Chains A and B, each alone.
Chain A
Amino acid sequence: MTLSPDSQTLLLLCSHLGLSSASEYAPMTLKNWNPLAKKLLSISKRPADLLELDKEELKNLLEITEEEAERIAHLLQRSGTVAIELERLNSLGIDVITRADSDYPLRYKQRLKEAAPTILFYAGEKDLLGQPGIAVVGSRHLDDAGQACAEFVGNACGLSGLVLYSGGAKGVDSISMNAALTSRGTAVGILADSLEKSIRNPENRDAIYRGDLCLVTPYSPNAPFSVGTAMGRNKLIYTLADYAIVVASDAEKGGTWAGATEALKSKWLPVFVLDHPDMPEGNKMLLQKGALQFPHPFPEHHQELKSWLDKHTAEIKSDPCQLSLFY
């Protein structure tokens, strides 16, 4: 794989690749990168134009402080080691896509705007990212109805050619994903941690090999699990899909609740919540907050899922927005 110079620059500035954990220079967060990207746009420069500059030149061009210039210069010097690290990731089957790539998922830019991750590491069929599909979310612990629903949606996706989006975790995620894959469908798992390890799993590996699965993460491919990354990842599940179905949520706590309320508030897409007599408290509260009802058991044939969702969708429009390659 060859990276464009712009992508390479983003990788140097915004990823941990080839950076010592004890390094005094941290890679740029979105908060750091966005103003810089704006600045570059305003002076008609591209990220790659930074590659050849030394500290003084960076300082003058970008009108930044001495410290900032030093940090950027330091991060940009890593190209040699990043090349070596990238080679290793490639050999494991992991690739990179950045906001500077034309095939970066459009939906992230449209829906997340400045919050769209600068870098995505992925394994598998990249073209699945952003294809029509349904996001299934919910806690790891499920009641029978939740389990049946996760399986049903996964199957229905598989049989009707929709991508099943999930977080690739245990519980709802893996149940729905396996259901989609076993019915010869496709799935995307947006991981919060351990991409490197996940692709060693034989089922995942086979599905990737067949081109039926893409596992993707905005975090380092060997990042360990953390609550923070799991939370930060949630919006990346919603914003790739056409519909979201919340299978089970705690009330006012936990990742599912936080992600679902964020999605409702941002109006990225229609959010359904599994509705049944024994539903968890969180489900009820999400319905009160404006989520749509998803009945259990589903009243129609599974092939009708998509049209049923279309029919029951309130008008939810996303804001039009200006798109720029690396911004």
Chain B
Amino acid sequence: MDRTHTLTLLRKMIGEDKDFRPGQWEAIEAVASKKQRTLVVQRTGWGKSLVYFLATKLLREQGSGPTVLISPLLSLMRNQIEMAGRIGIRAFTINSANKQEWAAIEEALAKDECDLILISPERLNNEHFLKDVLPQISGRIGLFVVDEAHCISDWGHDFRPDYRRIVRIVQMLPRGIPVLGTTATANDRVVKDVQAQLGPGLTVHRGPLVRESLRLQNITLANQSERLAWLAENLPKFKGSGIIYCLTVADTERVTGWLKQKGFSAEAYHAGGNGTMDRPALEQAFLNNKIKILVATVALGMGFDKPDIDFVIHFQRPGSVVAYYQQVGRAGRAVEKSYGILLSGNEDDQIQNYFIESAFPSIDVTKDLLKVLENSEGLSLYEILSKVNISKSTAEKALKLLEVDGIVGQTWDNKVLYFRTPNPWRPDVERVNRVLDLRRSELAQMQEYVDHQGCLMKFLLNALDDPHPAACDRCANCKGRGFSGEVDQKMVIEAESFLKSDQIIIQPRVLWPFALFPDQKRKIPLEYQNTDGRSLCYYGDAGWGKLVQSGKYQEGHFSNELVKAAAHLIRDMWQPNPFPGWVTAIPSTRHPKLVAEFARRLADSLQIPFYPVIDRIREAPEQKTMQNSSKQAHNVFNTIRIVQTISHEPVLLVDDIIDSGWTLTMAGYLLKKQGSGLVYPFTLARATSRNANG
């Protein structure tokens, strides 16, 4: 195989003055010439995509079939595909968003006019892909590429169940088909595991992970208000753009709100909020520097490649060193100086422990799910949820795991149906515990990093089993200086007041849940819907959240501070128009006076009357124990009723904590049916755990 020829191709792709990076040619040769099974471990930005594009080109020149590239990051590959086009590689992606192109792609494959097909791991189990696309390749797979190969290992920080399917496929592939795995983050344990799973013939090509431009620093500030203040004070010191990572969706929204208020160009980026966010547009705007700061959850994931990121700041501490390295490594790919600053605070452990505990669906949940499936030939997700009391995301997670293990299958009959396969199910307690233990030790290692007094880069490299870890002479610990961890108290007070006034909107529900009224339309008639409402805070959060928590469960009484804050929010910030003429409250027999008494004081403060017109017919289980919409709505339905004639003026409908929103939706529906004016829901807090991991 000709190195010179390959170099010519490389220069055509990325520029006449370019050369192979160390290791690139070796990896290309291993795959395209020696047809070896190869794992490439190189830091992001090294140019792994060049390896598979050039290998594809060379293999195609030898008459091989097209490359099948499996990657979880298809949307981020547009630029690379363009680059590959410069050497005549015709690459196509098949995904649910480009249905209109499928026929053309199938035709290109049939005519052998496709050199590379990109698919997500999920697609390997997709009927259309298996029936219509794959056969067009006529089996002539020239090269099988597994991007982000560390996802194969459940020792990896980012294990993905779909990758187990990839492992089984690779094991069945004939030896003549070269396989290339690529990853930027894999320590020895993960590499060994990937090797064990993909077969002993796997050769590993491993490069150094150090980032020459990155300056690391750790700053601990206990309270969110202090960290917000730190951001406001220090962000102006960075010239270019950057990413701020948060652990939860709520935090990204809150930090973004604060930064916007302080005049920064910042946007939130996450997969929460029903996935309505236009993430590709945000990525594009950020890439073009139209947005300076992206405040993101891990949804801004692997492979996002913007070369000129000046800083990556963590508002909260990530769960593992590997995850941290990967995220902070987005900075400084093509800039001389960049910063990786880890802020950490009081809430980090609590959030991380929640993530660990909810990482796997419990065995009981899985058993319930299987029992329901075993009694049927196939059920839709909503049918499952109406029979099992688990959240939608837990159900999806459990079904996904069961599916890759061959316990549950999927079929299509106008909608996706899940069915039980005859394969036996044995709960793998040991495996789950092993992974959970690993997560806990990773968390502990991350805390060690926070407390580490020596070179921070070297700590990371050691943790990642870099072959040649050395002190960087750049990080705050090596230099003995960095950004100040001190914050101006005035700014902290401002941040505190921001946290307290940060408005949380309650979106009215517009549809009844599935199967509540089987013979009725699911749409709630517009005239019986609630209006936009507000919550004072996120439950348990810094700000008012802690006060609500202790008020509800310790004092049995919401403090006057909360009444004042609520009245302030409603009268001065929210200013609903027309303003409510009266207040009512959702009663609960569990805490008989708690909400009503708070609502009465709130009404006094707003100088409007309080009428307790809603009654509970019978006590339902606490709404938070109901795990999905369908169950929640059933739980509420028939348990509340209106007991007196009511005012036709707009009403403020008060509850302590909004969870599913069904109680408020149902109460609002009944109030409006009885002739009330607009219904404005208001709650002290919003429960957060359900979408914490957006």
Stretch at the interface among B21-29, B170-178, B360-368, B581-589: B170-178
Contact A201 B173 (CB under 8 A): no
Residues of chain A having any CB pair with chain B under 8 Å = 2-3, 8, 12, 18-23, 51-52, 74, 77-88, 90-93, 123-124, 199-202, 204-206, 208-209
Contacting residues, chain B, for A123 (C-beta < 8 A): 422
Contacting residues, chain A, for B419 (C-beta < 8 A): 200
Contact A84 B406 (CB under 8 A): no
If A18-B135, A200-B378, A202-B376 touch, does A80 touch B141 (CB 8 Å cutoff)?
A: yes
If A20-B110, A51-B174, A201-B377 touch, does A124 touch B422 (CB 8 Å cutoff)?
A: yes
> Can you report 6 residue pairs joining A to B where beta carbons are below 8 Å apart?
A77-B140, A79-B176, A80-B173, A83-B174, A93-B422, A205-B420
If A77-B138, A77-B140 touch, does A91 touch B409 (CB 8 Å cutoff)?
A: yes
Of residues 377 to 431 in B, which have CB atoms within 8 Å of A's CB atoms?
Answer: 377-378, 403-406, 409, 411, 419-424
Of residues 341 to 369 in B, which have CB atoms within 8 Å of A's CB atoms?
Answer: none
At the interface, yes or no: B68 with Cβ under 8 Å from chain A? Answer: yes
Contact of A84 among B169, B409, B424 (CB under 8 A): B169
Distance of A79 Cα from B176 Cα, bound (Å): 10
Residues of chain B having any CB pair with chain A under 8 Å = 65, 68, 110, 124-125, 130, 132, 134-141, 144, 165, 168-169, 171-174, 176-177, 374-378, 403-406, 409, 411, 419-424
Distance of A3 Cα from B168 Cα, bound (Å): 13
Contacting residues, chain B, for A78 (C-beta < 8 A): 138-140
Contact A80 B140 (CB under 8 A): yes
When A and B form their complex, which 9 residue pairs have the shortest distance between CB atoms, in order from nearest?
A78-B139, A80-B141, A20-B135, A91-B406, A83-B172, A208-B422, A81-B139, A93-B422, A93-B421
- With A21-B135, A77-B138, A77-B140 given, can you name 5 additional A-B contacts, CB distance below 8 Å? A18-B135, A84-B130, A90-B168, A93-B422, A202-B376
CB distance from B646 to the nearest CB of A (A): 51
Contact A80 B422 (CB under 8 A): no
CB distance from B409 to the nearest CB of A (A): 5
Contact of B134 among A21, A81, A93 (CB under 8 A): A81
Contact A209 B422 (CB under 8 A): yes
Distance of A315 Cα from B409 Cα, bound (Å): 48
Contacting residues, chain B, for A208 (C-beta < 8 A): 422
Contact of B423 among A18, A93, A204 (CB under 8 A): A93
Contact of B138 among A74, A83, A91 (CB under 8 A): A74
Distance of A93 Cα from B406 Cα, bound (Å): 7
Contacting residues, chain B, for A85 (C-beta < 8 A): 130, 134
Contact A2 B404 (CB under 8 A): no
Contacting residues, chain B, for A202 (C-beta < 8 A): 374-377, 420
CB distance from A280 to the nearest CB of B (A): 33
Contacting residues, chain B, for A23 (C-beta < 8 A): 135, 138
If A20-B138, A80-B139, A81-B134 touch, does A199 touch B125 (CB 8 Å cutoff)?
A: no
Distance of A23 Cα from B422 Cα, bound (Å): 32
In this complex, which of A8, A21, A51, A87 has the most chain B Cβ atoms within 10 angstroms of its Cβ? A87
Distance of A81 Cα from B109 Cα, bound (Å): 13
Q: DSSP class of A's interface residues: helix, strand, loop or mixed?
A: helix
Distance of A8 Cα from B177 Cα, bound (Å): 15
Contacting residues, chain B, for A84 (C-beta < 8 A): 124, 130, 134, 169
CB distance from A78 to the nearest CB of B (A): 3
If A87-B165, A90-B168 touch, does A81 touch B375 (CB 8 Å cutoff)?
A: no
Contact of A205 among B124, B174, B374 (CB under 8 A): B374
Contacting residues, chain A, for B377 (C-beta < 8 A): 200-202
In this complex, which of B138, B374, B376, B409 has the most chain A Cβ atoms within 10 angstroms of its Cβ? B138
CB distance from A204 to the nearest CB of B (A): 8
Contact of B139 among A18, A91, A201 (CB under 8 A): A18
Distance of A20 Cα from B136 Cα, bound (Å): 6
Distance of A256 Cα from B169 Cα, bound (Å): 41
CB distance from A189 to the nearest CB of B (A): 13
Contact A87 B172 (CB under 8 A): yes
CB distance from A77 to the nearest CB of B (A): 5
Contacting residues, chain A, for B68 (C-beta < 8 A): 80
Distance of A81 Cα from B138 Cα, bound (Å): 7
Contact B138 A79 (CB under 8 A): no
Contacting residues, chain A, for B168 (C-beta < 8 A): 87, 90-91
CB distance from B110 to the nearest CB of A (A): 7
Contacting residues, chain A, for B144 (C-beta < 8 A): 80
Distance of A200 Cα from B140 Cα, bound (Å): 32
Distance of A88 Cα from B410 Cα, bound (Å): 11
Contacting residues, chain B, for A79 (C-beta < 8 A): 139, 173-174, 176-177
Contacting residues, chain A, for B132 (C-beta < 8 A): 20
Q: Give the residue name and chain of the A residue nearest to B139 (CB).
A: A78
Distance of A86 Cα from B130 Cα, bound (Å): 11
Distance of A311 Cα from B377 Cα, bound (Å): 43
Contact of A87 among B136, B169, B405 (CB under 8 A): B169
Contact B406 A90 (CB under 8 A): yes
If A2-B171, A88-B125 touch, does A77 touch B422 (CB 8 Å cutoff)?
A: no
Contacting residues, chain A, for B420 (C-beta < 8 A): 200, 202, 205
If A93-B421, A201-B377, A202-B377 touch, does A88 touch B138 (CB 8 Å cutoff)?
A: no
Contacting residues, chain B, for A86 (C-beta < 8 A): 172
CB distance from A92 to the nearest CB of B (A): 5
Distance of A83 Cα from B177 Cα, bound (Å): 12
Contact B130 A88 (CB under 8 A): yes
Contact A92 B177 (CB under 8 A): no
Distance of A42 Cα from B515 Cα, bound (Å): 67
Contacting residues, chain B, for A92 (C-beta < 8 A): 406, 409, 421
Contact A199 B422 (CB under 8 A): yes
Distance of A205 Cα from B378 Cα, bound (Å): 12
In this complex, which of A3, A8, A90 has the most chain B Cβ atoms within 10 angstroms of its Cβ? A90
Distance of A201 Cα from B419 Cα, bound (Å): 9
Distance of A260 Cα from B130 Cα, bound (Å): 39
Q: Give the residue name and chain of the A residue nearest to B417 (CB).
A: A200
Contacting residues, chain B, for A22 (C-beta < 8 A): 110
Contacting residues, chain A, for B404 (C-beta < 8 A): 91
Distance of A202 Cα from B125 Cα, bound (Å): 23
CB distance from A222 to the nearest CB of B (A): 9
CB distance from B359 to the nearest CB of A (A): 23
Contacting residues, chain B, for A88 (C-beta < 8 A): 124-125, 130
Distance of A124 Cα from B423 Cα, bound (Å): 9
If A18-B139, A20-B135, A93-B422 touch, does A80 touch B374 (CB 8 Å cutoff)?
A: no
Contact A81 B141 (CB under 8 A): yes
Contact of B424 among A80, A204, A209 (CB under 8 A): A209
CB distance from A202 to the nearest CB of B (A): 6
CB distance from B426 to the nearest CB of A (A): 12
Contacting residues, chain A, for B169 (C-beta < 8 A): 83-84, 87
Contacting residues, chain A, for B173 (C-beta < 8 A): 79-80, 83
CB distance from B377 to the nearest CB of A (A): 5
Q: Give the residue name and chain of the A residue nearest to B425 (CB).
A: A209
CB distance from A98 to the nearest CB of B (A): 15
Distance of A314 Cα from B406 Cα, bound (Å): 48
Distance of A12 Cα from B139 Cα, bound (Å): 10
Contact of B422 among A12, A51, A81, A205 (CB under 8 A): A205
Distance of A202 Cα from B403 Cα, bound (Å): 18
Distance of A164 Cα from B134 Cα, bound (Å): 39
Q: Give the residue name and chain of the B residue nearest to A215 (CB).
A: B422
Contacting residues, chain A, for B138 (C-beta < 8 A): 19-20, 23, 74, 77-78, 81
Contacting residues, chain B, for A20 (C-beta < 8 A): 110, 132, 135-136, 138
CB distance from B418 to the nearest CB of A (A): 10
CB distance from A276 to the nearest CB of B (A): 36
Contacting residues, chain A, for B375 (C-beta < 8 A): 202
Contacting residues, chain A, for B176 (C-beta < 8 A): 52, 79
Distance of A91 Cα from B420 Cα, bound (Å): 11
Contacting residues, chain A, for B172 (C-beta < 8 A): 2-3, 83, 86-87
Contacting residues, chain B, for A200 (C-beta < 8 A): 377-378, 409, 411, 419-420
Q: Give the residue name and chain of the A residue nearest to B135 (CB).
A: A20
Q: Give the residue name and chain of the B residue nearest to A206 (CB).
A: B374
In this complex, which of A51, A74, A93 has the most chain B Cβ atoms within 10 angstroms of its Cβ? A93
